[in-house]
Amino acid sequence: MNAADLASSYDLVVIGGGPAGLAAAALAARAGVQTVLFDENPGVGGQIYRAIGASPVKDRAILGEDYWAGTALAEEARASGARIVTGATVWSLDPERVVGVSVAGAARLIEARRVIVATGAQERPFPIPGWTLPGVMTAGAAQTALKAQGLLPAGRTVLAGTGPLLWLLAAQILRGGGGIEALLDTTPRRNLVRAALHLPDFVLSPYFSKGLALLREVKARVPVYRVAHIEALGGDRLREVAFDGGRLPSDLLLLHQGVVPNVNLAMAAGAEHVWNDRQLCFQPVLDESFESSIPGIAIAGDGAGIAGGTAAAERGRLAAIAAVRALRPEARLPDPQAVRQRLQREEMGRAFLDWFNRPAESFRRPEGDTLVCRCEEVTAADVRRMADIGCEGPNQMKAFLRCGMGPCQGRLCGLTVTELIAEQRRSTPAEVGYYRLRPPVKPITLAELASLPISDAERKAVER
Amino acid sequence: MKVKTADVVVIGGGLHGCSTALHLALRGLKPILVEKDYAGRHASGVNAGGVRQLARHIAEIPLSIASMALWEQVEELVGDDCGFSSHGTVLVAESETELAGFRTRVDDLRLKGFTHEELIDRAELKRLVPAVSDHCPGGVVSRRDGAADPFRTTQAFRRRAVEKGAVVIEGVTVTDVRRDGTVWRVETTDGPIEAPKVVNAAGAWADRIAAKLGEPVPLEVIAPMLMVTSRVPAFIDPVVILRGRKLSFKQLANGTVVIGGGHLAQPHRDQNRTVLDWAKLAASARTVWELFPVMRATTIVRGWAGIEARMPDDIPVVGPSSTSEGIFHQFGFSAHGFQLGPATGAVIAELVATGRTNTPIDGLGIERFQRQAERQS
């Protein structure tokens, strides 16, 4: 597939091939809408179904049945007639629904009548002392290596953090024959107080029994310590993990404290976002069909606010139903009410999970020399000091410290910087706001950009 | 509501407004500066940072030369070096025909007594800009030119203005300006301010102030686009600009390269928002691709645009109002106002305080648009 093979316009562009994108593309294409789906990875599946259909992990018990459920979604999308383009990096989306995409080193601008952004979630930044040492990575990255390459951690492995994905990864490593020295649970005990209100819903949700089984499975084979402080130690690479109450020699530390919407593309497009105080992240303002503040651009999946993979697919379907209605009113569609009911069922246990796994303040708002912005090497102390002398928001902070101005475009520091400024200035994250994000949301080379087809106006200017 | 009073109200917290507020305060006056967002939020904070006398319209050359003298001692003026460094600006000719045109311009400037532009041949061009493509036969250099950090500069002027006694009010919008007896009453979203003098330095919003004073101007809201790359090893010192194709090109001390040149985004001034035009940025990328082959594999990290004002003749409006005594205009810098900031503030402060200035600003008055309107009617 080359960029040159793409049409200059599509009725529907779906960005991201995780559950939301796959379900949306399948539904729309089956309803007769000309649909293209872009995904930057070599295959579809997103993070949750990463490498589905191509994973070298053949023993289904290792990744678990929830992973293999992705097969049906991928098959459905492939059979639907939607054009699925993998290895396609979307680097820009504007309010007129012009999509900038690169495929195999060449860029194109594609016009879309409707866009569904399904760029999913990313792991919340987990800034602890030493988190930039070789040998420290995120649990999500380790899970990607397991799903896509069948790689298990080697050496002495420590997992640390909070949230369902951490426990799932622990179980998957154990089932695959890997070893884990310890799991450092950073969940504050007092979370249970707030979460307990939502316990009845949670008990009725599908998460409940799965969650308990996972905890039992891991705790039976791995020592679990409740901790409030973690430090990665070692000069050239990770040698030791220190925590309140102990030290462990370690070669690999896998960090995770939940996931948050990946907002970069939607924000750069200009979609309005608000602070979600329960999930401690920014999320787009959406209507019941997941349409954003920009006409014709919907945001489905975890990018709309964290709800998990199964909910993401239902959200994708709802966004697709709205898109099809606008593009091809005569098309036959599933009943959105039925989809909504399924979505509600999926979302049922979410409040409990959010409150129960709420990351501790000390792990969201670091102190001292702990790096906040890895690209530009800006420390927590730098950010706090600037906030103290009058820097009111992340955008001024960019100008003073260059934090958020590196190639990751603030993905690894944005929430930390917002929360630090809010704490330091006794304000709120909602008030402080987030980085103004700018395209390209993924770096592209000058040569790629130069490869965009020359416009008629420019050709005339040169020929004149 | 309590009425604030001042000697001068400055509308707009870009570099120009902050510079004027500073120079007014240095003259012992009490200015209040009103800014609808925060100082440096728009073009002043996010422009390419070029400090350039090169290739300017003849009407603004005296201001530009006066400004250069202030840039060279900016640290004494504002207590911050503003990231200013001086490695010259080079205007690169891409053909012999273009070079011949540059020669005529440089000769003409000499006749008028301006010597800052200097014609250079292929060898000197290669010496100054070794990475430039071999198809370029020469160019023009202005050796004292340089570059500075725009947001830091604007903030430094703002900070020094406050230290010297100016009051800066941010997040407050001016809603009306009208005569009230002997003073001007400036209505804002935070209550009225009264002052005998008002400076309109409202950038892309300045036409609205001028219109309230009965002197409408044909201001165009523009948003010149810029891109920045990831860090690359140092390979170029001067700022490079082109004439035939749109390009300005400079490498910052941190290794990143800023690529601009005047391709325009779609501005939405009422929403503080711009929409980038990637087809035009691709044209910039192609120009760099040809001019600096060494750049081809470099990654573009971010693109952006700052909202500002352009006048039809591409030169600013600087000087007293033609309809209203006590009002002074300072806007419309047409994508090249950053270098002019320090001296224009000094000149406007001089005009406000004394009613006259020795720096020639003929040709920059607002009345040129009224004459134009009369001719057309």
Using CA coordinates, name the residue in chain A closest to B301: A443
Residue B240 has pLDDT above 80, yes or no: yes
User: What band does B82 get if pLDDT is binned at 50, 70 and 90?
Assistant: very high
Asked whether the beta carbons of residue B297 and residue A446 sit closer than 8 angstroms, the reply is yes
What's the CATH architecture for A125-257?
3-Layer(bba) Sandwich (3.50)
Whole-number Å distance between alpha carbons of A396 and B277 = 25
Q: Which of A97, A109, A446 to substitute to test the interface with B, most B CBs within 10 Å?
A: A446
How many CA atoms, within 13 angstroms, populate the side-chain half-sphere of residue A378? Answer: 27
Of the candidates A94, A446, A447, the beta carbon closest to that of B275 is on: A94
**A3-122+260-333 and A125-257, same CATH topology:** yes
With the CA atoms of A74, A79, A83 and A84 taken in that order, what torsion angle do they form, in degrees rounded to the nearest 10?
Answer: 20
Q: Strand, helix or coil at B244?
A: coil
Does residue A439 sit at the B interface (CB-CB below 8 Å)? yes
Window A:77-96, CB contacts with B under 8 Å: 92, 94-96
For B221-235, the pLDDT digits (tens) are 999 999 999 999 999
Does residue B282 sit at the A interface (CB-CB below 8 Å)? yes
- Residues from chain B that touch A440, judged by Cβ atoms under 8 A, are 300-303
- Residues from chain B that touch A105, judged by Cβ atoms under 8 A, are none
pLDDT by position in tens, chain A (length 464): 788 899 999 999 999 999 999 999 999 999 999 999 999 999 999 999 999 999 999 999 999 999 999 999 999 999 999 999 999 999 999 999 999 999 999 999 999 999 999 999 999 999 999 999 999 999 999 999 999 999 999 999 999 999 999 999 999 999 999 999 999 999 999 999 999 999 998 998 888 888 999 999 999 999 999 999 999 999 999 999 999 989 999 999 999 999 999 999 999 999 999 999 999 999 999 999 999 999 999 999 999 999 999 999 999 999 999 999 999 999 999 999 999 999 999 888 899 999 999 999 999 999 999 999 999 999 999 999 999 998 889 999 998 899 999 989 999 999 999 999 999 999 999 999 999 999 999 989 999 999 998 876 666 555 43
Instruction: Give me the residues paired with residue A39 across strands.
Output: A86
Whole-number Å distance between alpha carbons of A54 and A286 = 34
CB atoms near residue B165 (< 10 Å): 15
Of the candidates B45, B230, B303, the beta carbon closest to that of A439 is on: B303
Whole-number Å distance between alpha carbons of B193 and B185 = 6
Q: Which of B286, B289, B292 to substitute to test the interface with A, most A CBs within 10 Å?
A: B286
CA distance B70 to chain A (A): 23
**Residue B164 phi, psi dihedral angles, 5° rounding:** -90, 5
For chain B, percent of residues with pLDDT exceeding 70 = 99
Q: Is there a cis peptide before residue A56, judged by omega within 30 degrees of 0?
A: no
**Residue B148 in contact with residue B5, Cβ under 8 Å?**
no
Whole-number Å distance between alpha carbons of B348 and A201 = 68
Asked whether the beta carbons of residue A443 and residue B230 sit closer than 8 angstroms, the reply is yes
Q: What is the pLDDT of residue B374?
A: 74
Asked whether the beta carbons of residue A406 and residue B229 sit closer than 8 angstroms, the reply is no
Does residue A446 sit at the B interface (CB-CB below 8 Å)? yes
> What is the identity of the amino acid at B57?
H
For A26-80, the pLDDT digits (tens) are 999 999 999 999 999 999 999 999 999 999 999 999 999 999 999 999 999 999 9
User: What band does B46 get if pLDDT is binned at 50, 70 and 90?
Assistant: very high
Using CA coordinates, name the residue in chain B closest to A97: B275
- Residues from chain A that touch B45, judged by Cβ atoms under 8 A, are 399
Instruction: Over range B292-298, report the average pLDDT.
Output: 92
The domain made up of A365-432 is a member of CATH 3.40.190.10: no
Of the candidates B254, B285, B304, the beta carbon closest to that of A449 is on: B285
Q: What six digits make up the tokens of A92?
A: 């820009």
Domains of chain B with bracketed CATH: 4-51+150-218+312-376 (3.50.50.60), 86-145+221-310 (3.30.9.10)
**What ranges do the domains of chain A cover?**
3-122+260-333, 125-257, 365-432
CA distance B284 to chain A (A): 8
Q: What is the pLDDT of residue A463?
A: 46
Does residue A98 sit at the B interface (CB-CB below 8 Å)? yes
Q: What is the sign, positive or negative, of the torsion defined by CA atoms of A191, A193, A196, A198?
A: negative
Chain pair A-B, CB pairs under 8 angstroms:
94
Instruction: Over range B303-323, report the average pLDDT.
Output: 97
Q: What is the pLDDT of residue A348?
A: 87
Q: What is the pLDDT of residue B375?
A: 73
Asked whether the beta carbons of residue B230 and residue A96 sit closer than 8 angstroms, the reply is no
Whole-number Å distance between alpha carbons of A6 and A23 = 22
Q: What is the pLDDT of residue A399?
A: 87
CA distance A446 to chain B (A): 5
Domain A3-122+260-333: CATH superfamily, name plus number: FAD/NAD(P)-binding domain (3.50.50.60)
Taking alpha carbons only, the member of B370, B226, B244 closest to residue B307 is B226
Q: What is the sign, positive or negative, of the torsion defined by CA atoms of A47, A52, A56, A62?
A: positive
